[in-house]
C-alpha cells in the first residue's frame, strides 16, 4: 500500500503533520465530494418526496454494511449512532439497572464512559466500581451484584489494547454484561465482534474510520436484542413508524433522524479505504507499520519517554516529556504545524499514527520536540 497515494487523497494530511486521528481522522477527498454533492442536491432539488426518502434509506443500509465490514460483524447487528458516547448511552440507559446493581469500569476511561456512569449512579443509585485497566484488577471488582462491565478496547490515554475475550469471560462468569468503548479501536486495529466477547460494542465514525463528525455505530449481539430496550425511542424505532412492534435487528436502536449528508460521506470514506490495494487488511497493516516506525524514531529524541504499555498497542503513542508540560508542548508543536494532543489528568502528549503517516510527519514531530529543548 503506497503512502504517497493515500496522502494524495487526504489533503489535510498534507497541510500539516496530521497526528491526531484519535480525535478526528483526515477526511478523504471522495467523502468531501459525496457530502458536497448531497448538499447541492438537497439545496437545488429538495429533501422531501419518495425519491429522497428512498435514497436516505439506501444510504443508511450502505452505512450499516460499511460498519459491519470494518468491525467484522453482521449489518443487521449494527445500530447507527452519532458517536461512541451515543452508543454507550443507548446501552447504559437501555438496560434495567437500578439501586443495588453494580457496574465495573477502569480508571483510564474517556468521559464517553465515565460521564454516563456518573449520571447513572446519581439518578438510579447504581454503584460504580473502578479498577486499574488490567484483567486481574477488573476481575477483583466483580461481585454477585455486578450487572455490567464497561470499558475501552484501546485506552485513549496510552493506546494499550486490553484483553477483551478474557475480560468478557470473567464478566459473563459473574452474570454481567459487557459493554466496550471502541472509539480508539474501530478502524485502528483488526476487529471481530464475536471474538471480542462483547455484548455491546460502540464505535465512532470520525476518528480512525475517517468519516465525518456525527457518525457512529453500536454493535448489539443478537442475544441482546430482547434484553436491551430502546433508550431514545423515535419514529425509527418501530417496524412501521407507529408505536408497536420494534424494527427487526439492531436498527431498532438507531439514534433517531441521522443526517443523510454525513451518512453519505461516511459510506464513501469507508468505500475509499476498502478500494485501496489490499483493502482494509492492508490499511491496518500499514498503520501498524507506521506507528512502529514513529515509536522507534521518537524513542531517540532526548528528553522524551515513549510510554510502553507492556503488551499489544495501537496507533496511539503516549509521550512523557521530561522538561515540559504536555499542554504547553502541544501548543508549541501546533505553531510548527504538528497536530498532537495533551491527555487531561495525565502527563502524556498523545500521537496518532496511521496508514497516511509518512517520514516527514514523524521527522516534523521529532524536530519540534527537539526544538523544545
Query: What mean pLDDT value characterizes the chain?
Result: 96
DSSP letter string over 59-79? HHHHHHHHHHHHHTS-GGGEE
Helix (H, G, I), strand (E, B) or coil at 92: helix
Task: Tell me the C-alpha distance between 94 and 358, whole Å.
Answer: 43
Length of the chain: 373
- 3-class DSSP state for residue 316? strand
Give the pLDDT confidence score for residue 309 in this predicted structure.
Answer: 87
User: What would the grid cell of residue 368 be?
Assistant: 519540534
Domains, the chain, in order of start with CATH, read: 3-27+279-372 (3.90.1150.10), 39-273 (3.40.640.10)
In this prediction, residue 1 carries a pLDDT of 83
Judged against a pLDDT cut of 90, whether residue 294 lies above it is answered with: yes
Residue 347: phi and psi, rounded to 5, are -90, 10
How does pLDDT run across 141-175, given as a tens digit for each residue?
Answer: 999 999 999 999 999 999 999 999 999 999 999 99
Mean pLDDT, residues 274-302 taken together: 96
Calculate what percentage of the chain has a pLDDT beyond 90. 94
Q: What is the pLDDT of residues 204-249, one digit of tens each?
A: 999 999 999 999 999 999 999 999 999 999 999 999 888 999 999 9
Q: Is the pTM of this model over 0.85?
A: yes
Using the predicted structure, report yes or no on whether residue 310 has a pLDDT greater than 90: no
Measured CA to CA, the distance from residue 79 to residue 206 in angstroms comes to 16
Q: What is the pLDDT of residues 66-106, one digit of tens each?
A: 999 999 999 999 999 999 999 999 999 999 999 999 999 99
Q: Residue 100: what pLDDT?
A: 95
Strand partners, 317: 351
Distance, in Å, from the CA atom of 322 to the CA atom of 319, rounded to the nearest integer, reads 10
Amino acid at each position: 500500500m503506497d503512502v504517497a497515494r493515500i496522502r494524495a487523497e487526504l489533503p489535510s494530511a498534507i497541510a500539516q503533520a496530521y497526528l491526531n486521528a484519535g480525535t478526528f481522522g483526515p477526511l478523504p477527498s471522495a467523502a468531501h465530494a459525496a457530502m458536497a454533492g448531497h448538499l447541492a442536491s438537497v439545496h437545488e432539488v429538495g429533501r422531501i418526496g419518495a425519491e429522497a426518502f428512498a435514497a436516505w434509506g439506501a444510504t443508511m443500509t450502505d452505512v450499516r454494511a460499511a460498519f459491519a465490514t470494518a468491525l467484522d460483524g453482521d449489518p443487521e447487528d449494527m445500530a447507527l449512532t452519532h458517536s461512541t458516547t451515543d452508543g454507550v448511552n443507548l446501552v447504559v440507559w437501555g438496560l434495567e439497572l437500578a439501586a443495588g446493581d453494580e457496574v465495573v469500569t477502569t480508571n483510564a476511561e474517556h468521559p464517553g464512559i465515565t460521564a454516563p456512569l456518573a449520571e447513572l449512579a446519581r439518578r438510579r443509585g447504581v454503584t460504580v466500581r473502578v479498577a486499574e485497566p488490567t484483567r486481574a484488577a477488573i476481575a477483583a471488582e466483580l461481585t454477585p451484584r455486578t450487572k455490567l462491565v464497561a470499558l475501552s478496547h484501546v485506552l485513549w490515554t496510552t493506546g494499550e489494547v486490553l484483553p477483551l475475550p478474557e475480560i468478557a469471560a470473567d464478566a459473563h462468569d459473574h452474570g454481567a454484561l459487557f459493554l466496550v468503548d471502541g472509539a480508539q479501536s474501530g478502524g485502528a486495529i483488526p476487529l471481530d465482534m464475536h471474538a471480542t466477547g462483547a455484548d455491546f460494542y460502540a464505535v465512532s465514525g470520525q476518528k480512525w474510520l475517517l468519516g465525518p463528525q456525527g457518525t457512529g455505530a453500536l454493535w448489539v449481539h443478537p442475544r441482546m436484542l430482547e434484553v436491551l430496550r430502546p433508550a431514545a425511542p423515535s419514529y425509527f424505532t418501530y417496524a412501521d413508524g407507529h408505536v408497536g412492534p420494534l424494527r427487526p435487528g439492531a436498527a431498532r436502536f438507531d439514534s433517531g433522524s441521522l443526517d443523510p449528508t454525513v451518512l453519505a460521506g461516511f459510506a464513501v470514506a469507508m468505500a475509499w479505504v476498502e478500494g485501496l490495494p489490499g483493502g482494509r487488511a492492508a490499511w491496518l497493516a500499514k498503520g501498524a507499520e507506521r506507528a512502529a516506525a514513529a515509536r522507534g524514531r521518537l524513542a531517540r529524541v532526548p528528553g522524551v519517554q515513549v510510554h510502553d504499555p507492556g503488551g499489544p498497542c495501537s496507533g496511539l503513542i503516549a509521550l512523557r516529556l521530561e522538561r515540559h508540560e504536555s499542554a504547553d508542548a502541544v501548543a508549541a508543536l501546533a505553531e510548527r504545524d504538528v497536530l498532537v494532543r495533551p491527555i487531561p489528568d495525565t502527563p502524556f502528549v498523545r500521537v496518532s499514527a496511521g496508514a497516511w503517516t509518512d517520514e516527514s510527519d514523524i521527522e516534523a514531530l521529532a524536530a519540534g520536540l527537539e526544538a523544545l529543548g
